[in-house]
A and B are shown apart, each in its own frame.
Chain A
Amino acid sequence: MNRPLRRVAAACGLLMVLLLLNLNFIQVIKADEYRDDPKNARVLLEQYDRERGAILVASDPIAFSRETGDKLKYLRIYADGKLYAFATGYYSHIYGRSGIERSEDSILSGNDDRLFVRRIVDLLTRESTQGGTVKLTLNAAAQEAAYKGLAGRRGAVVALEPATGRILAMVSTPSFDPNELADHSGTKVTNAWQRYTEDDQMPLLNRAFNQTYPPGSTFKLVTAAAALSSGRYTPAGAVPGPARLDLPLTNVDLPNYFNGTCSPNSQTTTIKRALEKSCNTTFGAIGMDLGDEVLRKQAEAFGFGERFEVPLPVVASIFPSDLNEPQTAQSAIGQFDVRATPLEMAMVVAGIANQGVVMKPYLVEEVRAPDLDVLSRTDPEELGRAIRPQVAADLTAIMISVVDNGTATNAQIDGIDVAGKTGTAQVGVGKNPHAWFVCFAPADDPKIAIAVVLENGGSERQIEVGGNLLAAPIARAVMEAILGR
């Protein structure tokens, strides 16, 4: 019986070797893959075991971690959840992260390379590792004014500091409460998520950065900038201003939104007056005269066609290519397939306000270690020069008069020159148009540039009224918050 016994012994040995090989496979070859698998409950517990750093506005934490008694050690708390929802984003153990929670995750979690030495020290001293702090550029007063102004509506507000590109306000409504998604109860989180994702108002969509709208008449600023930059137009020189503009290749005309010519009893007008009255025919004609290539170059100089990371990702705004003449005329007044994010339109006015230089927008002011040492501070960066200073000055003068005696009277602030432009973007038959307002102030020393959009906020009958009636007061409230009025 010894021969089979030896074979059995060999077979048992083989079984053990198989086990050992398989263990090597799992614990060495597959180790990294399995260890970092998001389904690995350890990854999650590890993550929640550290005190995640706070997100600050000025010196107030708008997101911070509080110790709990449950298995996930720290709970993420958003002090004013809905107000800052799209800046902070959410931090969910089921649906991951968004906003700054995602973009600055390595700092907040403490995993950043810049925190490496501190982690080693923590390890040696058996201190628990903490995350770093992220300070935002947002201004609480401006943010609150914008959020209040948008209450009950779908829309967005973006406010920039023209000289630097700092984002002073960024609001999108309807908003969501990130506390509901950061909850440690799985059912609560999934219920909230379901409610938000099934809501046709799309409360999880950041309209300020990730939604593009036809910019409507606010785009006439870009067309005017291209015209004045071309050297063939001056603010006061004669330009076409008929009641209806005949579009070649088609049998339709481009009318003004009001019945009549731009200047009373004349087929011509000036760029200044055309902007004040928001004449479609004038800018349609100028657009066809300049051609789509010139318009596109001007738009791109203001940032169209580029995706930004502020560090939140911002979708690119679009000026379409390969346009025929009627399409060019439509595009010149911000219709057809021109689409812009609220941030982009704020960059356009900020560029005009900053004497023609467009600054890169940014949301993170500085990043600090857990001991509050500043690790890095964002320096303002030029995106490029969009227009000459003289053109910027000309446009500023016109925009002041748009507010003083044109279509944007609701943006007036006593004692301060506000430069602005309204817009109404058609979005198809039977739907109310989007109402826009863009502006900056004070005109002689701009501190803030704003874009406001209200989805379907205009009225079908009172075309071009929505911008002034609904959007301009919101912009005004934000300006007053920043300028201390």
Chain B
Amino acid sequence: MSSSAPSVASASVNSRRMTELFLLIFAWGLSVAAYANAGYGVTNEWPPGLVGYAVTLGAYSLVAHLAVRQFARYADPIVLPAVMLLQGLGLALIYRLDLDDKSPSERSFGPLAPRGDSGIQLIWAAIGILLFVAVLVVIRDHRLLQRYTYTAGAAGLILLAIPALLPAQYSQVNGARIWVRFSGFSIQPGEFAKLLLIVFFAGYLVVKRDVLALASRRVLGIDLPRGRDLGPIVLAWLASLAVLIAERDLGSSLLFFGVFVVLLYVATERTSWLFFGFIMFVSGAYFAYQNFGHVHRRVEIWLHPFKPEYVTDASYQLVQGLFGFSTGGILGTGLGQGRPNIVPYANTDFILATGGEELGLTGLMAIIVLYGVIVHRGLRAALAARDSFGKLLAAGLAVILALQVFVVVGGVTRLIPLTGLTTPFLSYGGSSLVANWALVALLLRVSDAARRPAPPPAPTTDAETLVVRP
């Protein structure tokens, strides 16, 4: 694309940072409008802190934009606005739920921002964006991460294991042991483990892909790996089951294993790994269904949510969520006009039911498409990346986002059994939000490297090795 144009001028045009800025302004406007609309819908008056809120959100967008402009100049211009829009819609929905749930004093307004959950979420968003900037500043080249493959793997596993090793009083909330709680403050280390493990998977597979891809036997038309090469996938499988058993975290368990299998497939180009992964997933799922009460219960609720003995108790959340979606219908009730707070955990696990009720099918389709755009852009970065590690890293980040969206949205809409996962960028909750901002930063980092015009005196040998496919 850029090869025929004059080098310096074309570089600044093709960075497409102005596109990003315009899209960010659009996302900002929509977010502020949603927030104002939610406030007006519930209380019949404009939110008192509206101007302060608009300024705050504008500052967030600007900081993120300037950071990208400075440190990832050629990064994809669409990802950041899409994330900002999701973040803004999430804040509006959380604020809207605050208005119904919190007493007037709890929801009173600070000078610049609301209090209540939406105020806390606004602070988490600031932390998330600071981490986003920090990642862009510190990690100037994603290949740096490859050096820390095993460190990342070990750190990821430790983070993942901490809640299971802590006494339940510090780690268990509503059955799942995925928290670290101290003095009124709680984080989910698993959200950060997610990123570290993807770095590990990518780094590990770059090294091992040849072995895993080539050594195989053909049986019944399928390339079967050698027994000893099965080690990594079996380990990943066991680790996932361990997460499921020790932390009762069905969602994360599924995510880790799913991402690992997909990356294994991408790295080796062997379909047989998908086949193996599928078999192991099914057997693991069946084993869990048979042996763990909480998994069995989830499946039962999924299959028979309207059973009278479930409907007021075990499946109440799911069923009231479904009713919320249906009440919203195609166009939704309008922000502030529905009753989304009927659904327990409406601002975390079930925030999508809130969106579904008040924004309707139209709003939800837009939200799903936003996720689709981010995933798509992530995978494009993976395709365009010039190094294998970058490809696997971007693919892993994009796929884990896609899987998480599928698992959580599919769960609350009863496409698949419900697992407790947050909806990226929308749900109330700091760990998930901050970790996902870091994920976006890494994605933009790879994207920047992929789209950056090759330096004019490009060493030809380098380029060739990158083009040749293994």
Contact = CB atoms under 8 A, between A and B. Distances in A.
Contacts, number: 131
A2 B388 CA distance: 10
Given A2-B469, A40-B320, A27 B325 contact: yes
Contact of A28 (B330, B379, B391): B330
A5 B339 contact: no
Contacts of B339: 41-42, 45
Given A19-B415, A22-B415, A27-B325, A1 B320 contact: no
A256 B338 CA distance: 72
Contact of A27 (B312, B364, B405): B364
Nearest to B320: A41
A375 B403 CA distance: 58
Contacts of A23: 325, 356, 361, 364-365, 368, 413
B365 A20 contact: yes
Contacts of A13: 372, 376
A28 B406 CA distance: 20
Contacts of A4: 265-266, 269
B399 interface: yes
A8 B394 CA distance: 12
Contacts of B57: none
B14 interface: no
Nearest to B409: A19
A42 B341 CA distance: 10
By size class, the interface of chain B is: 35 or more
B399 to A, nearest CB: 6
Contacts of A45: 339, 342
Interface string B302-340: 000010000110000001101111111110000000110
B376 A9 contact: yes
A3 interface: yes
B85 interface: no
B470 A1 contact: yes
Interface in B353-367: 356, 360-361, 364-365
Contact of B269 (A1, A31, A32, A33): A1
Contact of A5 (B368, B395, B403, B410): B395
Contacts of B262: 8
Interface string A26-56: 1110111111010111100100000000000
A467 B339 CA distance: 58
A26 B325 contact: yes
A121 interface: no
Interface in B38-83: none
Given A1-B391, A27-B325, 8 more contacts: A4-B269, A5-B395, A9-B383, A18-B406, A20-B368, A27-B360, A31-B330, A42-B323
Top 4 nearest A-B pairs (CB, nearest first) are A34-B326, A40-B323, A27-B361, A12-B402
13 contacts: A1-B388, A4-B265, A8-B395, A12-B399, A15-B406, A16-B368, A27-B329, A28-B361, A33-B326, A39-B306, A41-B320, A42-B323, A42-B327
